[in-house]
Structure 1
């Protein structure tokens, strides 16, 4: 059997390693360049690869193709492979064929990284053998090749879900849906929503779908479509007969005959969105028979994800917060909503079709000044110039931090929450976040 892997990054190299272990003839092809660390792995494993080109004759010999999530389905070569009947799948789909592990799959436009890390932290604290993979950490395929644990918590993007056929998580979590990556979905929100719901398409009545009952897009899809999974909602807006809800500063969980209550003031992560993340993670853990005391202790001891509302330093009474992972408007909405002091907001980057108007009430209420961090800031300036007097354009993290330092006064906050992708000035949102943190430390 011939396996061709398109893309020599984390997921591609993981799939190649697993392919070799399962006796496939493996060939890796990357149209760009392959990072040194991955090249070493391929060479050490004696896996054939090419970079800077896609050799069509080699690729079309494949019995199965594993495609990097970054390659759109609309690329001519992918369409041609599918026309010829060659299965084109994601690394998640490929890896899932070789494990009997209990899988928790977590998706959503925002909050999925934190919910994944939080769920993994609770399960690991309970003594379970559990891996964390997908959009985070070492690739799922790589982990199965190396250790094949009994449980996995997977953070799943819409791109990864687009490449599944038989993949089925025992517990699926749908954190929320807001417009994102619409450039990959013909600028149609319904296509993106359908992609997210692929997480439940193979679930049976033995499986569970935990979902945000406050999300209008989720509610609409569920009123028009069906899933076989057992539905478990969570909400911070209304009381529920079943699931998790918020009442009088307490999370209340009703999953069976018992009622479990937990105060939100002691949670390690504060903010409304983190209450939802805690609800989803707690219910997942309860379904997997983790003791309530372990859940409570884990929620109180958890340290959050890097680049997600990450406190950096307090300088002259000003708090600096790195939320570089906020690559869409909805993520920034959560960030601004959790600010409790006047805020100098650093925003901007590659706009994926953003509508900033949703942020207007929060900007009026919380934002003192805006520092733009992007090549083209016209849309941001146009949207907010009527409500914010001070808007400054900058061309890099260091300049943005220096400008924010001059504007912010004691008792205020400087928040990097770009609401945009990072590729105009940075390699990635991680690079953007690290440059921001370095610039703050240099002050």
Structure 2
């Protein structure tokens, strides 16, 4: 009998419980059947032998059902896996699209149509371009009703991207102060991202104080008003605004002047807000401009309201002297502007810091006070620097000032290149915000 014939015999007999193939002799095959209990099962030493055991029909159905159930589970699991993958792909796509759309959703400002900005700037003509910074080019525009505006157009090659764009929009749209530039709205269309500001006809502070001709247009009373206006604007950011802002990039080119030469702080692309009583934080990526960054920020990435105080001090000394900190050159030493101011202060000659063109309009008391306030702001240790509230008080009253301590970043440096060229660097070329990676 063949194995199949043996199976048929066992299946047709209700008493048969198992069957197996049987070697008889000379290759002939037979059939071995079991009835009742399985007994006389031999152990074969060389190789095993298959035995086929008859199962109860209910057990067969249970096994078949279990197999079908496993198949069903696998089928459902595969479907869930495919659905999950599809959902993830949809979420990734939606998130990328949402990131672009969310820019406009977060904005509490008017959205200008791209066609309106194109007409206002004569299709972004070269003649309408009034400057360029780290964010991108800046254009002057005139709306149909005659209002003049300034448009910052995000450059596609800019180191500052969508995060900086949103950062500036969110912060500056929620800040209201006469010494902060006013953001009128924005324009978003495809890859185009623009910010629309009130137009400042007198451009930036650096175009006046560092220009040999134009700085003569500003007498001391106006310069002192500018110093006080900047101080009040920073005080608002640090103390009176609901966001508590650290600007992180205060410099002469980021101070704009309106028709009446009133100062307005601009460029909040790298500003940061701190909550509650916090005064600062730490970052691995240092962003800012050389010559205005405090030592603890430039070296260790620690920024705080005292970082802005340091930058304000540099600004005050630049306004008084009409010289840039980084591009400062003196025939008697290789100190930067901070070092020069410190040297004059120790020699009790701080009036010598004032620009010579201020001689006719100079108020000696205010010049001396401003110079000392500037040095108090740029002291090496943050804890030694006064708050902006104290700065405003010091500038507006006649109370005695505390003695200044050694400033940060005033050591002598190698000016071989500057001396070789015989000219000082014009800081208006340093309008771009730079990024330094923390070496740690």
TM-based fold match above 0.5:
no
User: TM-score, normalized by length of structure 1?
Assistant: 0.24
User: TM-score, normalized by length of structure 2?
Assistant: 0.24
